[in-house]
Homo-oligomer: A and B are copies of this chain.
Amino acid sequence: MNTLVDGRPDQAVPADDRGLLFGEHVFETIAFWHGQAPLWSGHMQRLARGAEVLGVMLPDPAQLARDCRILLQACPDCSAVIRITITAGSGGRGYWPVAQPRSRRIVQRRPWPSDLEDQRRSGLRAIFSAHRLADEGVLAGLKHGNRLLQTLAARECARAGADEAVLLDSAGRLAEAVSSNLVLVGADGIATPPHPAVAGVGLAWLREELASELAESSVFPAELDAVSELLVINSIGGIRPVTQLGRFRFEAGPVFRRLHTLWQSKLF
């Protein structure tokens, strides 16, 4: 058993679910390590923000935690990645909502990715995606179900045999990677792009840890020669160094080592 739908073991979701029909859902992908999810509260906060914007009823977080525990019991060491999806449920006519909406919760367990430590050791080779992130208005920063741009960029990445793809914003500045946020190290210190499409829970943790030491900075690709380290961060993979992005090369340097040690010591 690796999926619960509304708390019951089920591998399928009704075909009229609005999450399927329109991508009308919010989701979180949460790292569990020996039964613990160190970033749980950050995930729950983002889920609540997204559910409110979409108008989707959020289940009680205690119910979600119980679903996770049930799925984790089946893992030998209770370490896995759990995706929680809250959809707008079934019903409505086309885009129009039902009068009394009932959200649906889908909780899915996946094995811990096997290539993260290799990537951390050898560094990621990344490409620039040809796709640009558009301004998403009220949806900006939310982890919602409309992720076609990410799947398109992941396909580019797979075709190029790369590990990651970096997306630029509509003005042509570095915004984020397919599945992680960016951290840049230059002469002025440590910075992250100001308006990523997904406000990462890993990045939020780093903001809190580094406080004013982490600046916000918009960087054009042409300015990357002045960047010594380029890192990706997300709540599953932690902090990993990018050693190549297009024609640019970076080192897995002292800031990477420091932040990775911080991540390990504080969260695990």
Contact = CB atoms under 8 A, between A and B. Distances in A.
Contact of A146 (B27, B93, B108, B148): B148
Nearest to A106: B15
B138 A131 contact: yes
B147 A22 contact: yes
Q: Which of A16, A113, A139 has the most CB of B within 10 A?
A: A16
A116 to B, nearest CB: 11
A238 B42 CA distance: 47
Contact of A145 (B12, B23, B108, B139): B23
B158 A97 contact: yes
Given A108-B15, A155-B97, A144 B137 contact: no
A134 B131 contact: no
Contacts of A155: 55, 97
A135 interface: yes
Contacts of A149: 137, 139
A120 to B, nearest CB: 17
A219 interface: no
Contact of A152 (B12, B138, B158): B138
A22 B178 CA distance: 13
Given A13-B13, A97-B158, A134-B134, 20 more contacts: A15-B106, A15-B108, A18-B151, A20-B87, A20-B145, A21-B145, A22-B145, A22-B150, A22-B151, A24-B147, A54-B151, A94-B154, A95-B151, A95-B179, A96-B157, A131-B137, A134-B135, A137-B149, A139-B148, A145-B146
Interface of A: 3, 5, 10-24, 27, 29, 53-55, 83, 85, 87-88, 93-97, 106, 108, 113, 131-132, 134-139, 144-155, 157-158, 170, 178-179
